[in-house]
Structure 1
Amino acid sequence: MKRIVITEFMAETALDDFESGYSILYDPALANDRPRLLQAVHDTDALIVRNKTVVDQELLNAAPKLKVVGRLGVGLDNFDLIACQKRKVQVKAATGANAHAVAEYVIGAVLTLQRNVVFAKHLMLSGNWPRESLSMGNEIQKTTMGFIGFGNIAKTVAEKARALGMKTIAYDPYLAPNDEGWQTTRRCKLNEVFREADALSLHVPLTDETRHMVNEEKLDLMKTNAVLINTARGGVVDEGALVRKLKDLSLTGAALDVFENEPLTYGNASIFDDCPNLILTPHIAGVTVQSNLRVSKMTVKQVKQALEF
């Protein structure tokens, strides 16, 4: 009987797809209990994780039978991919399964930020009637949506943005010049995207190349009426630089779903105190009831295929 260890939350109904022949340990608390995790994987054939479980050499050493790791999502910065490759442990990401969830989050954030209504409820409940100031919001039709990174999720966002009347531009040096995505989205240099975008959405992994890619210098290039959305990885943005731009009103707004240090705590969240027109969410852009089921079922299918091959 093949053993599967699941260390983070998923749609439990998808586990029914394993049927007989599998022994399942579903314990989302394992991601936060490293000693117990290392004990739990000693005889496992497969591991299913999200972004908190670090799959490194230590874990691989503790799991000599491990054949495949299913990733409930797409980011792989919690993996030592070289170590996995050397051990011939397959890594299976749920590519595309949460694209529509992220895309809807991004579009929703752009609409909210450009109308500058994040704190309208609090103003009104305190006795204010901010009709004049909130009447200065912007429409998004005929504006430009920019992307840093133009993979599957970014293309899905772009499709929805164009449906709302936006133009789309992108920077992605790794996407082939003949990729079909460039038929409807203009390919630009990095600084061009920063300068031209009315809404800028980030879709790159966290690497040495992309860490603090969005820094003071790049933010200085952006329009004062632009908004920034980060659903990629927190380290891509210099959070201190972004806060300064928001506070001095040289950027209209931002939505951050990911952070340099996760989870945010009272201590490391204080940087965002009194920051205007800022949406903060706990890494949930790609997680909805529907996407969680799609991601979970895709991951189970990929793990089964790897074990049965």
Structure 2
Amino acid sequence: MPRIVITDCDHDTIAPERQVAAEAEVDLVLADCKDENDVLEAAAGADGLIVQYAPVTAAVFDAVPNLKVVSRYGVGVDTIDVAAAQAHGVLVCNVPDYGTEDVSDHAVALALALLRGIPQLDRRLRRGDHDISAVKPLHRFRGRTFGVVGLGRIGVATACKARALGFEVVAHDPAAKEVPEPLRGAELLGFEETLGRADVLSLHVPLTPATHHLLNTETLHRMRPGSVLVNTGRGAVVDTEALVEALERGQILGAALDVVENEPLLPPHRLFELPNVVLTPHVGWYSEESFTELKQRAAENAVAGVLGRTPHDVVSAAVHDG
């Protein structure tokens, strides 16, 4: 019987995966891997892997000759050595569109919370302070500019929702020659021009060598004064220390982060001390609907791979944002 190992999973159930595996008569095993050594031990003899955060390195592909597929819970595959997988003839799969609506909802919600000063007003009111001076000036959304970096599925969905709220939309994506049809009429700009135009800058790019610390001391300085940064993509796209310094100096108005460089973010950390920061614990992907879809499709991809079928979502070495 083919064997699939779930290397790691912090979900409260794997019932959807078990159902998919049982229907295909595939053995499914749940492990608790934290590092490469854990994965090497758990993956021994496996035909397929389903992975959440655990690293699947070149050493894993070398050590597991029967491996046919690695399926990831999520969009990004930066914890998987895709080049090594291809060299060993192993399929790498993701679930590129399960959280499109959910992450774009979260990005817009974070942006609106910042722009209306909601977290600060809430905290002050709980202390009995009804003064709004701490969040002045507030501006209406119509006529403000919402900038999106990355025009994959999530970036486009975020931009569409922002435009529906009255924002002018500008976007940057080095791979795009024109804006996608749903954003027809929006401006496609260079990166630095987007930084200078956007009142809200929302990041939707994968983590690659080219995007690591895309927002750093220099590029943060080029953002429009009074603007806010939203990151629901990958934490390391933003240099955390540079962001903290930009916020402390008032270089930008605020930041809303669902992802950070080193997760989980734990106190004490300077981000927790800043009143103009909104933090959520990497939950932008979550809704009950997306949760079930993610688990089923990750399992279906793995099952298809171990049975010699073509999975629905196969990732190539050139990985793009969902």
TM-score, normalisation: structure 2: 0.88
Deviations 1:140-163 (A, max 9, x none): 222211111111110111111111
Residue number in structure 1 paired with 2:20: 17
- Conservation of the 8 A alpha-carbon contact between 1:206 and 1:233: yes
Residue number in structure 1 paired with 2:5: 5
Distance in 1 separating the partners of 2:42 and 2:33: 11
Q: Per-residue deviation at 1:195?
A: 0.7
Write the mapping of 1:153-172 to structure 2, written as runs, cut at 5 A.
Answer: 153-172=154-173
Q: Do the aligned partners of residues 178 and 290 (structure 1) sit closer, same or farther apart at CA in structure 2, a change above 3 Å counting?
A: closer
Q: Do the aligned partners of residues 265 and 89 (structure 1) sit closer, same or farther apart at CA in structure 2, a change above 3 Å counting?
A: same
Q: Per-residue deviation at 1:249?
A: 2.1
- Conservation of the 8 A alpha-carbon contact between 1:3 and 1:45: yes
Which letter does structure 2 place at the counterpart of 1:296?
Answer: K
- Conservation of the 8 A alpha-carbon contact between 1:56 and 1:80: yes
TM-score, normalisation: structure 1: 0.91
Write the mapping of 1:235-254 to structure 2, written as runs, cut at 5 A.
Answer: 235-254=236-255
Distance in 1 separating the partners of 2:214 and 2:28: 41
- Aligned pair count reads 304
Q: Per-residue deviation at 1:35?
A: 3.6
Residue number in structure 2 paired with 1:31: 33
Distance in 1 separating the partners of 2:33 and 2:138: 42
Q: List structure 1 runs of 4+ shifted beyond 4 angstroms.
A: none
Farther off after superposition, 253-262 or 65-74: 253-262
Q: Per-residue deviation at 1:76?
A: 1.4
Write the mapping of 1:272-287 to structure 2, written as runs, cut at 5 A.
Answer: 272-287=271-286
Distance in 1 separating the partners of 2:10 and 2:233: 20
Residue number in structure 1 paired with 2:45: 43
Q: Do the aligned partners of residues 234 and 33 (structure 1) sit closer, same or farther apart at CA in structure 2, a change above 3 Å counting?
A: closer
Distance in 1 separating the partners of 2:270 and 2:82: 33
Distance in 2 separating the partners of 1:213 and 1:244: 16
- Conservation of the 8 A alpha-carbon contact between 1:141 and 1:166: yes
**3-state SS of 2:241 partner:** helix
Q: Per-residue deviation at 1:278?
A: 0.3
**3-state SS of 2:93 partner:** strand
Which letter does structure 2 place at the counterpart of 1:41?
Answer: A
Unmatched runs of 5 consecutive residues or more in structure 2: 310-322
Residue number in structure 2 paired with 1:205: 206
Distance in 2 separating the partners of 1:284 and 1:178: 28
2:187 is the alignment partner of 1:186: yes
- Conservation of the 8 A alpha-carbon contact between 2:207 and 2:236: yes
Q: Per-residue deviation at 1:179?
A: 4.6
Residue number in structure 2 paired with 1:221: 222
Write the mapping of 1:67-86 to structure 2, written as runs, cut at 5 A.
Answer: 67-86=68-87
- Conservation of the 8 A alpha-carbon contact between 2:4 and 2:28: yes
Farther off after superposition, 288-297 or 170-179: 170-179
Q: Per-residue deviation at 1:134?
A: 4.2
Q: Per-residue deviation at 1:277?
A: 1.3
Unmatched runs of 5 consecutive residues or more in structure 1: none
Farther off after superposition, 11-20 or 111-120: 11-20
Write the mapping of 1:29-178 to structure 2, written as runs, cut at 5 A.
Answer: 30-32=32-34, 34-50=36-52, 52-134=53-135, 136-177=137-178
Residue number in structure 2 paired with 1:288: 287
Distance in 1 separating the partners of 2:235 and 2:124: 29
Deviations 1:63-87 (A, max 9, x none): 2211111111111111111100001
Farther off after superposition, 292-301 or 40-49: 292-301
Aligned-pair RMSD on alpha carbons? 2.0
Which letter does structure 2 place at the counterpart of 1:17?
Answer: V
Distance in 1 separating the partners of 2:205 and 2:38: 32
**3-state SS of 2:283 partner:** coil
**3-state SS of 1:255 partner:** strand
Q: Per-residue deviation at 1:214?
A: 0.9
Q: Do the aligned partners of residues 176 and 65 (structure 1) sit closer, same or farther apart at CA in structure 2, a change above 3 Å counting?
A: farther
Which letter does structure 1 place at the counterpart of 2:232?
Answer: T
Distance in 2 separating the partners of 1:291 and 1:98: 6
**3-state SS of 1:25 partner:** strand
Distance in 1 separating the partners of 2:35 and 2:218: 40
Q: Per-residue deviation at 1:62?
A: 3.2
